[in-house]
């Protein structure tokens, strides 16, 4: 799309996402780190306006947390948005955020394995697998069952393993973003205010 077709400016989207309330009690066992607003806005903006995978599409956010990616998809004109999380506090916060911002989205308390359906686009920031080994793979398996196109955020250090796994499972994929994000101080063992992490975003099409 060219610039004349863009209906939501990236900076405006980022400002909206910055206003989303954080998780009141994040759990390290679930790797509940907040997706930075500027990074989320850039990812959603590219998915919407470069690849036409958001506006007018059905979108599911697996492991939605407080709803930042799901709400952003709604802002950008998704036809239908569903956010899934196993944590009740996350969903309560996401629901509160969406109501306060006047965004339309459905929220479901569920393990992702229980979700059925067909969606145009999956967009997710899955656990990196540092606390539960291969939890990132579980999210990819479910996403490839549910969605035609998947946007998934992963640590750059896992690129070789994940790209090999995707090829072995017949997926077509490309890297649409490579960047450093700063995770904020969230847990008692953190001794810095910000933790830089190198990440990349896969755009995956199932076979």
Domain that holds residue 35: 6-205
pLDDT of residue 132: 67
- Nearest of 184, 179, 201 to residue 69 by alpha carbon: 201
pTM for this predicted structure: 0.90
- Nearest of 5, 65, 43 to residue 178 by alpha carbon: 43
**187-197 CB burial, b ≥16 within 10 A, e <16:** eeeeeeeeeee
Average pLDDT over residues 63-83: 97
Q: Is residue 197 part of a domain?
A: yes
Q: How many domains does the chain have?
A: 1
Q: Is residue 187 part of a domain?
A: yes
pLDDT at 185 over 80: no
Q: What angle do CA 105, 99, 52 make, to 5 degrees?
A: 35
pLDDT band of 151, cuts 50, 70, 90: very high
CB-CB contact of 80 with 100 (8 Å): no
pLDDT band of 3, cuts 50, 70, 90: very low
Average pLDDT, the chain: 90
Q: Is residue 87 part of a domain?
A: yes
Q: Is residue 1 part of a domain?
A: no
Q: In what order do the strands lie in the sheet with 194-205?
A: 106-109, 80-85, 58-62, 119-124, 147-155, 194-205, 172-184
Q: Is residue 161 part of a domain?
A: yes
Q: Rounded to whole angstroms, what are the CA distances from 56 to 44, 90, 141, 169, 177?
A: 14, 26, 25, 29, 23
Question: Among the ranges 28-32, 79-83, 189-193, which has the highest mean pLDDT value?
Answer: 79-83
pLDDT tens for 18-67 read 999 988 787 767 766 788 999 999 999 999 999 999 999 999 999 999 99
Q: Is residue 156 part of a domain?
A: yes
pLDDT at 142 over 60: yes
How far apart CA 180 and CA 174 sit, in angstroms, is 18
- Give me the CATH number covering residue 146: 3.40.50.150
Q: Is residue 119 part of a domain?
A: yes
């Amino acid at each position: 799309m060219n610039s004349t077709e863009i209906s939501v400016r990236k900076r405006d989207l980022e400002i909206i996402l910055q206003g989303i309330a954080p998780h009141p009690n994040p759990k390290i066992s679930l790797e509940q780190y907040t997706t930075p607003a500027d990074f989320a806005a850039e990812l959603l903006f590219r998915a919407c306006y470069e690849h036409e995978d958001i506006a007018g599409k059905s979108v599911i956010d697996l492991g939605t947390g407080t709803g930042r990616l799901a709400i952003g998809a709604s802002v950008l004109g998704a036809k239908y948005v569903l956010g899934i999380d196993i944590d009740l506090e996350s969903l309560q916060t996401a629901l509160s955020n969406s109501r306060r911002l006047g965004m339309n989205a459905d929220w479901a308390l569920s393990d992702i394995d229980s979700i059925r359906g067909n969606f145009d686009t999956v967009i997710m920031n899955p656990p990196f697998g540092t606390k539960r080994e291969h939890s990132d793979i579980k999210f990819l398996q479910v996403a490839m069952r549910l969605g035609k196109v998947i946007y998934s955020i992963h640590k750059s250090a896992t690129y070789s393993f994940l790209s090999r796994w995707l090829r072995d499972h017949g997926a077509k994929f490309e890297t649409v973003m490579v960047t450093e994000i700063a995770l904020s101080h969230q847990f008692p063992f953190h001794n810095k205010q910000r933790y830089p992490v190198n990440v990349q975003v896969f755009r995956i099409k199932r076979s």
